[in-house]
Structure 1
Amino acid sequence: MQKIIAILLFFSSTQIFAQSDKTFVNENKIYLPNIKTVLCYNSSKEQSLPVIQLNATEKIFFSFDDLLGGTKNYWYTIEHCTADWQTSRISTADYLQGFDSDRIIDYRYSTNTARKYTHYELSLPNSQVQPKIGGNYILKVYLDGDKSQPVISQQFYVVDNQVAIAAEITNSLQVADRNAKQKINFTINHSIAIANLYQDLKAVVLQNFNQKTAQINTKPAFVRPNQLVYNDLKTNDFWGNNEFRKFDTRSLRFKGDNVKNIYRDNESVNVALFQDAPRNAEAFANQYDENGNFYIRNTDGRDDQTEAEYMGVLFTLNAPAPNANGEAYIVGRFNNFTLSKENKMLYDAGLKQFYANVMLKQGLYDYEYAWFDNETKTLESLPFEGSFFQTENSYQIFVYYRRPGARWETLIGYTNLSNRPTDRR
């Protein structure tokens, strides 16, 4: 017990004093350690993918917390990107109406929390900043109007619908992978004239909103009149992985799902989860999850955004290291499946135990354990979680087109599909 408390206190007291990165990248990233809980989704459905239709009434909801509290001078801009998230080297006049930047003025202070913070919100498009063409966009937040002081970069999508996409999820057609992988077949139905199919049109497939799973399709298996079929035997195969693990901290008065202990004083709140075991040697067990998602909730208060508490959450995995040259991480949509010092796990070789403490905002969380192999430079959950074709996953398909003579790629189609019989989200 003393070891657990010592770990919790050490991590919770050191997590917001690291140095920041100084250069923007076109990916979902937080650059300052005091910035937490970045949310970005279509406002019509909480934690949906941030996709909106061009010239429609839909909005992107974006928010974050600053654990240093007070009021900061945060500014933002948006930039158009290519299908592979490179900057589209075009003028802001080509893709923006209104201004090219503005200050975030919607903020509120936390109340009734041990750790004080300031909550910021933004809605796009708005009266100041409005995208006027379809495509990938990167939202950049920076301090004091100075882009050399990055705070957050966040991807979102604007669809100029011109095609229809029909898709299905099946077993992998590779015999060796049929029990572990899922395959996506899809058809693009269109009425536009495509001059150079293999250069001007791309289709990107993601699993569970995770950009690191992206597979880019440039060559359909069959070309028919007004129809492109992507069902090649060897493409768009994804590890099925396993159902995500989860924990519930909606209330800090009672122990929710997977919560072992709650430690609370006037200055901090810490939560220890039950120790996890590897699932790579087990048979598949079906359970409902949120495909890696998370939801900010506080049933002890009235306002989820400003009354939810920040907690140090202790994760423990009882498993031997898969090899001697790698590291274990805790990943989920709460950290965009990225690797950082905060979600890297320490390893006790004597106990064969991994552990880490991650600062999270009160709510419901999906997570999994992944292993980064330093030799192959690959990140996989298989060593700890296993992989099964029965796992329920969601897949997103994006279609991009560059018109003849155009200087940018337009997002002309999007669909989201799931092998869950009833999507209750």
Structure 2
Amino acid sequence: MQKLIVILLFFIPTITFSQTDPFVNENKIYLPNIKTVLCYNNTKEQSLPVIQLNSSETIAFSFDDLLAGTKNYWYTIEHCTSDWQTSRISTIDYLQGFDSDRIIDYRYSSNTTRKYTHYELTLPNTQIQPKIGGNYILKVYLDGDKKLPVISQRFYIVDNQIAVAAEVTNSFQVADRNSKQKINFTLNHAIPIANPYQDLKAFVMQNFNSNTAQINTKPSFVRPNQLVYNDLSTNDFWGDNEFRKFDTRSLRFKGDNVKDIYRDNESVNVMLFHDAPRNNGAFANQYDENGNFFIRNTDGRDDKTEAEYMGILFTLNAPAPSANGDAYVVGRFNNYTLGKENKLLYDAGRKQFYANIMLKQGLYDYEYVWLNNETKTAESQPFEGSFFQTENSYQILVYYRRPGARWETLMGYTNLSNKAKERR
């Protein structure tokens, strides 16, 4: 009996520590009643949520609760590695003030068919203040219980010590010159970097889409106070196509790409014009927002609390690219994720995909992607095509771990596009 008790006592700590965190370190909504999560640098709406360390810049974060009423939402932030694993450091190392707080800034919707409550948060604030640069994950949970996840959201704080100079050019691969774009960049630094091959990483992503991120660990040239990344075979991105878009700023008039608007006392539904595939035609230049969306309501006075929630009917007239796969409609409005909410149903007889997604009134960019279930790869080219001329934005984030340091610091960031090249 004593041996059995000893064995049980030995295993109890192991069981306790093996409990998994219900949160994941990515942009995710855990409850179906939570909609329209926004997170950006306050200086520019829908910019990437990147701010400078110890500056006046702030992160604007907000979301809506379609159950309305008032909930007891709490939040905390955690420092992460460059690949979004939780850093194994104490909150004392990266936070000033408290490690959690309640969201107390909220407002009820007004003059809307669907009632909801709008919550807002600004970071840093008087309660929670990050004190080192790096990747951070914001975790929102219910009733002060971290086992009840609501939202996880990535944001970035730059301890700016590395300057990034970059350019967009054609792919160096002859077969891809008309369909891909290549990023070359140079890092200029005044701090000593003894081993850039081991201590420094640079991530490049397209249109704020983390699914496109490419990691750079080996500079092509190492010069005094300068690292050059222009290898022939790296940082190639599909040019894709300009995003499709629709305009529901007003529900009294039909905006861009809106075919019909149906509303009653219980709901609002918007039917878009049928979309056609664009993978066989020539490139058609049009203005887009690189996948972004903007909440707007020109029929009211307050976009945040007077904008309606609508069912948006998407229809794509196209045959299935292969026998084993699924189509999705994506954009920054759903963080380019492939989930059941944005999966399109397929009518083989009509060769038609369709989906109905609930979105808040405004301006939206979107595109269609095909997930090949055999290769597990998702591509927009089967529906959208890919062209070098497409205007895209690119983000470069540079992380450095000082010798002996226990965490990685985000020390460089830039955002660039090929718009100037395209317009010349």
TM-score, normalised by the number of residues in structure 2? 0.94
Q: 2: CA distance between counterparts of 1:403 and 1:421?
A: 36
Displacement of 1:197: 1.4
| 1:155 aligned residue | 154
Task: Report the 3-state secondary structure (helix = DSSP H, G, I; strand = E; otherwise coil) of the residue aligned with 2:420.
Answer: coil
AA of the residue aligned to 1:94: D
AA of the residue aligned to 1:351: R
Task: Report the 3-state secondary structure (helix = DSSP H, G, I; strand = E; otherwise coil) of the residue aligned with 2:382.
Answer: helix
Q: Find out whether 1:397 has 2:396 as its counterpart.
A: yes
Q: Find out whether 1:116 has 2:102 as its counterpart.
A: no
Displacement of 1:422: 9.6
Structure 1: which 5+ residue stretches go unaligned?
1-20
| 1:232 aligned residue | 231
| 1:269 aligned residue | 268
Q: 1: CA distance between counterparts of 2:224 and 2:169?
A: 25
Q: 2: CA distance between counterparts of 1:88 and 1:199?
A: 18
| 2:256 aligned residue | 257
Displacement of 1:354: 0.1
Note the alpha carbon deviations across 1:238-264, whole angstroms, 9 max, x for none. Answer: 000000000000000000000000000
| 2:197 aligned residue | 198
Q: Structure 1 199/152 Cα, relative in aligned 2: closer, same or farther at 3 Å?
A: same
Q: 1: CA distance between counterparts of 2:254 and 2:126?
A: 44
C-alpha contact 1:27 1:155 (8 A) present in aligned 2: yes
Q: 2: CA distance between counterparts of 1:282 and 1:215?
A: 29
| 1:214 aligned residue | 213
Q: Find out whether 1:40 has 2:36 as its counterpart.
A: no
Q: 1: CA distance between counterparts of 2:29 and 2:89?
A: 25
C-alpha contact 1:294 1:364 (8 A) present in aligned 2: yes
Note the alpha carbon deviations across 1:374-399, whole angstroms, 9 max, x for none. Answer: 11111100000000000000000000
C-alpha contact 1:330 1:343 (8 A) present in aligned 2: yes
Q: Which runs of 4+ in 1 moved over 6 A?
A: none
C-alpha contact 1:64 1:119 (8 A) present in aligned 2: yes
Q: 2: CA distance between counterparts of 1:422 and 1:126?
A: 40
Q: 2: CA distance between counterparts of 1:114 and 1:239?
A: 41
| 1:369 aligned residue | 368
C-alpha contact 1:141 1:152 (8 A) present in aligned 2: yes
Q: 1: CA distance between counterparts of 2:363 and 2:219?
A: 40
Q: Structure 1 44/422 Cα, relative in aligned 2: closer, same or farther at 3 Å?
A: farther
Note the alpha carbon deviations across 1:266-314, whole angstroms, 9 max, x for none. Answer: 1100000000000000100000000000000000000000000000000
Aligned residue runs from structure 1 range 338-357, under 5 A: 338-357=337-356
Note the alpha carbon deviations across 1:397-421, whole angstroms, 9 max, x for none. Answer: 0000000100000000000001112
Q: What is the percentage of aligned positions where both structures have the same residue?
A: 84
AA of the residue aligned to 2:134: G
AA of the residue aligned to 2:374: E
Q: 1: CA distance between counterparts of 2:305 and 2:339?
A: 26
Q: Find out whether 1:31 has 2:30 as its counterpart.
A: yes
TM-score, normalised by the number of residues in structure 1? 0.94
Displacement of 1:101: 0.3
Q: 2: CA distance between counterparts of 1:114 and 1:82?
A: 43
Note the alpha carbon deviations across 1:124-161, whole angstroms, 9 max, x for none. Answer: 00000000000000000000011111000000000000
Aligned length, in residue pairs: 404
Alpha-carbon RMSD across the aligned residues, in angstroms, is: 1.3
Aligned residue runs from structure 1 range 322-341, under 5 A: 322-341=321-340
Q: 2: CA distance between counterparts of 1:89 and 1:71?
A: 35
Task: Report the 3-state secondary structure (helix = DSSP H, G, I; strand = E; otherwise coil) of the residue aligned with 1:306.
Answer: helix
| 1:16 aligned residue | none
C-alpha contact 1:22 1:150 (8 A) present in aligned 2: no
Q: 1: CA distance between counterparts of 2:84 and 2:385?
A: 30
Q: 1: CA distance between counterparts of 2:383 and 2:31?
A: 30
| 1:280 aligned residue | 279
AA of the residue aligned to 1:73: N
Displacement of 1:192: 1.3
Q: Find out whether 1:129 has 2:128 as its counterpart.
A: yes
Q: 2: CA distance between counterparts of 1:220 and 1:174?
A: 19
C-alpha contact 1:22 1:149 (8 A) present in aligned 2: no
| 1:358 aligned residue | 357
Structure 2: which 5+ residue stretches go unaligned?
1-19
